[in-house]
Structure 1
């Protein structure tokens, strides 16, 4: 089952990234450490199935849910998931499957059941505690950067942070790419201040205007970001936020983005 959850092409990219195991402090060997690939299978199982960590089938996976949670914590603190995402984006650009001239941005509400940081009253869910996923994608819907905020945060507040979160993506001759030429967004991003900030960065804002009738035509380009949210929320653990720790939910988001990038890379090879 480990090979199904963590196929060889995913593992060969993850294997060099996790932190080294801590040195033993005692002479007695103690319990044998669970291999990183098996622990990653437990993490991916929770990410896909949406089960609680205590419900991970240790007999099938090879590790307990507690071990998977601890390894998720350690890898998140070591910055494994952003490096994996950047590596896959670089491979996509090398294969000619990354179209960064046109990008789209949007946010999506989710319910947060256990509180924690980046939780706020959701304006679309009767002020229940919620969070927001924010993502910026290329023209084909490949996630370039993702972030987590409280459910009461306005989408536009994450426009500049998400642009800054796009890693430098190499893979071709010349300098690494980290900025689009045009950015597509809905009416929630229609603020003169942010239009000026985009122009200052050399990015043309293509944003629907508030108060204008529907049918701006931007949907022909911007729909890919909605499809990306559908891809992300196929991972059942991301449909509702169960993690009290925001950094762990962010880590699961980044791992899901990496798996989406790997799927696109498989089609290119």
Structure 2
């Protein structure tokens, strides 16, 4: 096994989750192609610069784009989560947070029109936001108590965290073996002050999800201003809140992939597929 390639444990997880080839000409070896895709994303190099030992770069790019567009990586992530849940290996103390990623100049200039430009898919173009520092993308992430990704979303870097809260939470769908609906509700949720809003707390209470989210300073001042009529402060357990660091550590692990720490992909679906693949390998 060369540097940046799949280990035997990772391949053992991925192999049964790969889509079966359709009728027709046999496709290139799956492990070699996946090794090339992983090598490219871990190093952050251009597709044309991937070593020839992984086969033609166009084959790698075509396979990656096809699996990104048809949701293959997302289905594989769900299947890996289902296996872990069936073995009782998921800690449902869920933490949610976001992290900003600088976008390289090559990430701009995606073709206008087509599937990728539909508003339902992009939510703000190709998930590129312009700020004082240039183009940025934000990764919104929910992880289990062991710091493994349960659901994720990518938006422009200037997107507020709380606007994506329900989207990320509703994306938590861990299938269960046999009949029954997927599990969507954590035992407890931890979030930082960016998720402290009345709408989010109401959404969580209606679904019976206990949560630990600190109040912002302005919210505390507004509550105290009218005295006793301002109501009681929301419950906050500082010992549970200390466990929020698992989501920060998850971001650190994801950003060891240079192709994730800096965004080079032009389309939002390709960049999200890259993050999904890195998240999938964390379940190995």
Asked if the contact 1:13/1:84 (under 8 Å) is kept, the reply is no
Structure 1-normalised TM-score? Answer: 0.83
Residue equivalent to 2:188 = 182
Q: d(CA) in 2 for partners of 1:73 and 1:154?
A: 28
Of 43, 58, 63, 1:66 maps to 58
SS in 2 for 1:98: coil
Asked if the contact 2:172/2:183 (under 8 Å) is kept, the reply is no
Aligned pair count? Answer: 248
Q: d(CA) in 2 for partners of 1:171 and 1:92?
A: 11
Residue equivalent to 2:128 = 119
Of 141, 151, 162, 1:156 maps to 162
Q: d(CA) in 2 for partners of 1:153 and 1:76?
A: 23
1:5 maps onto 2:5 in alignment = yes
Asked if the contact 1:2/1:41 (under 8 Å) is kept, the reply is no
Q: What is the Cα deviation at residue 173 of structure 1? A: 9.9
CA RMSD of superposed structures (Å): 2.6
1:192 maps onto 2:184 in alignment = no
Sort the Cα spacing of 1:168 and 1:218 in 2 relative to 1 into closer, same or farther, 3 A. Answer: closer
Of 250, 255, 263, 2:277 maps to 255
Q: d(CA) in 1 for partners of 2:205 and 2:99?
A: 25
Residue equivalent to 2:38 = 44
Q: What is the Cα deviation at residue 14 of structure 1? A: 3.5
1:96-115 Cα offsets, whole Å, 9 max, x none, are 32111x21100000011222
SS in 2 for 1:140: coil
**1:87-102 matched pairs, under 5 angstroms:** 87-100=79-92, 102=93
Residue equivalent to 1:109 = 100
Of 230, 233, 251, 1:229 maps to 251
Asked if the contact 1:2/1:37 (under 8 Å) is kept, the reply is no
Q: What is the Cα deviation at residue 9 of structure 1? A: 4.0
Q: What is the Cα deviation at residue 178 of structure 1? A: 1.9
Unaligned runs of 5+ in 1: 25-31, 263-269
Sort the Cα spacing of 1:69 and 1:226 in 2 relative to 1 into closer, same or farther, 3 A. Answer: same
Residue equivalent to 2:225 = none
